[in-house]
Amino acid sequence: MSSRLKLTLSYAGIVLVTGAVLLALVWLYLLRYVPDSEQGLLGISPNRYLLSRIFGRAAAIALALLLVFGLVAGWFLSGRMLSPLTRITDAARKASEGSLSHRIRMEGRTDEFRELADAFDTMLEQLESHVAEQRRFAANASHELRTPLAISQALLDVARKDPAQDQREIIERLHTANRRAIDLTEALLVLSRGGNFTREPVDLSLIVEEATETLLPLAEQRGITLGVTGERALTSGSAELLLRTVTNLVQNAIVHNLPEGGTVTVHTEQRSGATVLRVENTGPPIPPDLVPTLTEPFQRGTERTRTDEHAGVGLGLAIVHSVVRAHDGTLDLTPRPAGGLLVTARFPGMLARR
């Protein structure tokens, strides 16, 4: 049976039982004061037998009317009470069919059904946003992966059709394309890991030293001055992921800098119980409306000259944002008035053990 039918029978049963109890009480307390003799006052007083016959027929009719009334009223009231649940069920059915844009938007007073509908609308909104983001990310990832694979296929076709072609050049270009595909695949794996990693104490200042030492040749090649300042900064997280984060930030700051004479400054500190990492670089001005899109996958802020060695895959700041969020931190991007960008990452701090 449906819930509506169960509620209807429950309402009707309650009304019928209540009526029967009331009639039974009337029957017992009324008849006890009626004499058994056929002669009453002035010979017209009713006796118990006569009242029993009259009252019994009326009681049966009353119980039948109460049963009908209980069924009709119960069916109507249960329908009114369950109508919000029907709307929620319809929305859930549409969501299961792939329509995530539908909203219940229940009106009226706040009750349990209203709270359930509002919570369901919030869930649908978050689910729609998540699915749209995943679809956009999958489409962009497929597009980005197709490019190096197509380049590799074209190079192989050239090598097969033209044996006189310079094999060393083809191998070098093929190596570059494959390395970019590998870098992109690793970046996608980092993004997909989310918060699933082992946490341990990490000193960000040591991570910064390792990342800047690795990228120092790139900075010198481009004429960029790379500076590191600050103090010991402890947090809890994955040293591997934090190294990837700092490396991406510093590499972006170098590649997105001025052609010559630019600077990159990396600073770490402990402040107000938080571990702070700041990466600031000179460079071309960045429009403020472009800043919120820089952490989106495959979004690139400005056109720049790229080398084959550091072509990038458009996932640098997206990886940074994902890793910082997985470490319960926050990421702020601020365009500098003179050009360039200031990136500030804040992580939960840890006290150094003595």
* Residue 154 and residue 208 share a domain: no
Same domain, 217 and 329: yes
Asked if the structure places residue 117 within a domain, the reply is no
| Final residue in a domain of this structure, among 76, 99, 122 | 99
**189 shares its domain with 222:** no
Mutual angle of helices 204-222 and 239-255, in 10-degree steps: 30
Q: Is there a single domain that holds both residue 208 and residue 165?
A: no
113 vs 281, residue with greater confidence: 281
The Cα 139–Cα 144 span in angstroms is 9
pLDDT at 332: 93
Give one DSSP letter per residue of 91-152, joined into a string: HHHHHHTT--S------SS--HHHHHHHHHHHHHHHHHHHHHHHHHHHHHHHHHHHHHHHHH
Residue 262 has pLDDT above 60, yes or no: yes
- The tokens describing 172, both together, are 């070098």
Which helix H or strand E contains 216, and what residues bound it?
helix 204-222
Contact 11, 78 (CB under 8 A): yes
Most confident listed range (191-200, 246-255, 339-348)? 339-348
Say whether both 161 and 227 belong to one domain: no
Please state, rounded to an integer, the average pLDDT across all residues of the chain. 79
The reply to whether 210 and 168 lie within a common domain is no
Residue 14 placed within a domain: yes
Residues 329 and 230 in one domain: yes
Residue 153 falls inside a structural domain: yes
Together in a domain, 50 and 78 = yes
Residue 297: both structure tokens together: 């996958």
- Residue 277 pLDDT > 60, yes or no? yes
Whether residues 300 and 226 fall in one domain: yes
Instruction: Say yes or no: 91 and 204 in one domain.
Output: no
Q: Is residue 300 part of a domain?
A: yes
Task: Please report whether residue 171 resides in a domain.
Answer: yes
Q: How far apart are CA 287 and CA 285, in angstroms?
A: 7
* Any domain includes 113: no
Using the 8-state DSSP alphabet, how is residue 88 labeled?
H
Burial class (CB in 10 A: 0-12, 13-18, 19+), 291: middle
Does residue 51 contact residue 31 with C-beta atoms inside 8 Å?
Answer: yes
- Asked whether 124 and 97 are in contact (CB, 8 A), the reply is no
Residues 205 and 328 grouped into a single domain: yes
* pLDDT surpassing 50 at residue 308: no
In the chain, the N- to C-terminal Cα span, in Å, equals 69
**Domain membership of residue 153 as a residue range:** 136-193
- Is 354 within a domain? no
Q: How far is CA 63 from the centre of its chain?
A: 56
Global pTM value: 0.55
The label of the residue with tokens 């030293």 reads 209
Q: Give pLDDT, residue 67.
A: 83
Number of domains observed in the structure of the chain? 3
Taking residues 188-216, what's their average pLDDT?
A: 81
Residue 234 and residue 269 in one domain: yes
Poorest-pLDDT segment among 13-17, 185-189, 248-252, 302-306:
302-306
- Rounded-to-10 torsion of CA 155, 157, 163, 168: 20
Tokens of 83: 């109508």
Kind and range of the H or E run holding 215:
helix 204-222
Structure tokens at 94: 């549409």
Q: Looking at 146, 167, 193, which one is the last position of a domain?
A: 193
Is residue 203 very low, low, confident or very high in pLDDT (cuts 50, 70, 90)?
very high
Percentage of the chain modeled with pLDDT above 70: 78
Q: Are strands 225-230 and 274-281 parallel, antiparallel or unpaired?
A: unpaired
Helix (H, G, I), strand (E, B) or coil at 205: helix
CATH code at position 240: 3.30.565.10
Mean pLDDT computed over 335-351 = 90
- In-domain check, residue 154: yes
Which has the minimum average pLDDT: 38-52, 86-100, 223-237, 325-339? 38-52
Facing residues of 202 across strands? Answer: 235
Which has more confidence, 352 or 127?
A: 127
Tokens at 226, concatenated = 């790379």
